Amino acid sequence: MSSSTQKNNLFHRFDGVLWGNPVLALGLGVPFAVIATVSMRSAAVLAAAMLCTAVPVFLVASLCARYIPQWLRAVVYSLVSAAALIPLRALLFSLFPAVFDTLGVYYALMALNPAVMIPALSHRVTGEKPGFALLNALCYSLGFALVLFGIALIREPVGSGTIWGHPVEIPFQLAPAQYPFFGFILLGYFAAVYQFLERLFVLVARKRGRFLKNSKKSRREEEKIPDSGSQKEQKKKLTWFKRNQEEQAEEQTGHNDTEGITKKQLDK
Amino acid sequence: MDFFMDFILLAMTAITLENAIFTRALGIGKTVFTVHRGRQILVYGGMVTVITMLSSMAGYWMTGLMTSLGWASSYRSIIYLVGMAAIYAACHFAIGLLPKRISSRANGYLSLATFNCAVLGSVMLSAMQSYSFAQYMGFGFGTGVGFTAAYWLVVEGHKRTELSTLPRAFRGFPAMVLYIGIMSLAFYGLSGHQLPL
């Protein structure tokens, strides 16, 4: 949300949940979506970690980025992110102790989650008001969690026959669903479905004329502001207009006599 | 001789069986669409390899220090990040001494190459497995080289999939991820077992 027109658009205010999803649209956080979604509990732990890292990092980026040299920002954001994970680990370990064995190093790697680092380093968050930065963090976290839960909801019952650790009856089971390649293939199909739905939405919205309502192009079409063009094009238009006027005058009077026509009439 | 053998063994393991991209999905994303030319990949991969090796050296020393001080393993990531930040700052200043046309390009890749899941992942995996110094260095070197080779394969595969007639919904990111999944399946056939996370 970089332009003021997009901020006023309610749809773009929640950028990151579905539209502009960090995993499916921006391609960020692939390791976590592929490796660590073998169970719903792992997905829940990573979603909580995403929220707890995105909020402080985005707030620091919005408030302090102008005081930090550009080359040092990645260092600061990664350290803030890693510091935020330490108390969360203590809390989550009391709730899901076995999950940390499943996650391995991937919980600690959330400190360098591209879904947090790249938006924080880009114009999306830097210089934004803290309120919008917080909203961005919540939206990105929700979008990230939706994808992780979606993949885990398929992998856990198919791979281990459980949902949230509770056994369920599944007509078939595939032990290789726990391996990385299954996660990649599942993520690929999720991304394809997302792209299909995104394109469908854009086509429907364009037909209704509601897409990019506040964009410059649609405002120009509404107000019928003529395209000004470059100075050369303006001169060409003026020359053509004058020539057209002279031809019309010649047709009317029967001879080429433009002296009688005033400048105002020519300008009209 | 033992140092050399440990180094080579862990390097080959990290390149093939425990490849950063195909086995652990580390360091991959839409950067494939930005760093996609041969020279760019070599520079980026070379920087990842150098940073990973330097981080592994620092990581070995920091792991020993934390073990001797009795610090909990939950503080490891932030301690390793402090070490990586120091390496990043040193590299940034070293690159600044180079001619401007080289330093401006190299600095663009430096933050991507340093704050990369593959680098931190390599250090943390080595710490988890309690490797010796030679094994740390070998695993770090192998992670960097394996990452570069896998990245090149992904970029080349992505270029070829873009030239083929794919359904619109699968063009771009979905095709790239599916391609990585199929390559990962091939690597699973090589290793055939669940790797330690």
Return per-residue pLDDT of chain A as tens, 268 residues.
444 444 445 566 678 888 889 999 989 999 999 998 999 999 999 999 999 999 999 999 999 888 888 889 999 999 999 999 999 999 998 888 888 888 889 999 999 999 999 999 886 666 778 888 999 999 999 999 999 999 999 999 999 889 998 898 888 888 888 889 999 999 999 999 999 999 988 888 888 775 555 555 555 555 554 555 556 666 666 666 666 666 666 666 554 444 444 445 545 4
The answer to whether the Cβ–Cβ distance between A31 and B24 falls below 8 Å is: yes
The single residue listed with the structure tokens 């580390």 is B26
How near does any CA of chain A get to the CA of B133, in Å?
20
Tokens of B128: 């988890």
Tokens of A87: 């108390």
How near does any CA of chain A get to the CA of B165, in Å?
15
d(CA A204, CA B172): 22
The answer to whether the Cβ–Cβ distance between A26 and B30 falls below 8 Å is: yes
Q: Note the helical H segments in chain B.
A: 2-15, 38-69, 76-96, 100-114, 117-128, 133-163, 173-191
| B196 contacts in chain A (CB < 8 Å) | 104
d(CA B158, CA B45): 17
pTM of the predicted model, to two decimals? Answer: 0.81
* Complex ipTM > 0.85: yes
d(CA B150, CA B64): 31
The pLDDT assigned to B194 comes to: 57
Instruction: Please name which of B141, B127, B124 lies closest in space to residue B24, comparing C-alpha atoms.
Output: B124
The single residue listed with the structure tokens 């909990």 is B72
The radius of gyration computed from the CA coordinates of chain B, to the nearest angstrom, equals 18
Q: For A166, phi and psi rounded to 5 degrees?
A: -95, 130
- The answer to whether residues A24 and A190 touch, using CB atoms and an 8 Å cutoff, is yes
The verdict on A68 touching B (C-beta cutoff 8 Å) is no
Give the CA count within 13 Å in the CB-facing half-sphere of B14.
31
| A79 contacts in chain B (CB < 8 Å) | 78, 81-82, 85
The answer to whether the Cβ–Cβ distance between B25 and A184 falls below 8 Å is: yes
The verdict on A58 touching B (C-beta cutoff 8 Å) is no
The answer to whether the Cβ–Cβ distance between A112 and B115 falls below 8 Å is: yes
Give the type of residue at A58.
F
The answer to whether the Cβ–Cβ distance between B174 and A195 falls below 8 Å is: yes
- The answer to whether residues A55 and A61 touch, using CB atoms and an 8 Å cutoff, is no
Please report the beta strands in B110-183, taking only residues with DSSP state E, as ranges in sequence order.
none
DSSP state of B194: P
Q: What is the pLDDT of residues B18-28, one digit of tens each?
A: 899 998 899 88
The verdict on A94 touching B (C-beta cutoff 8 Å) is no
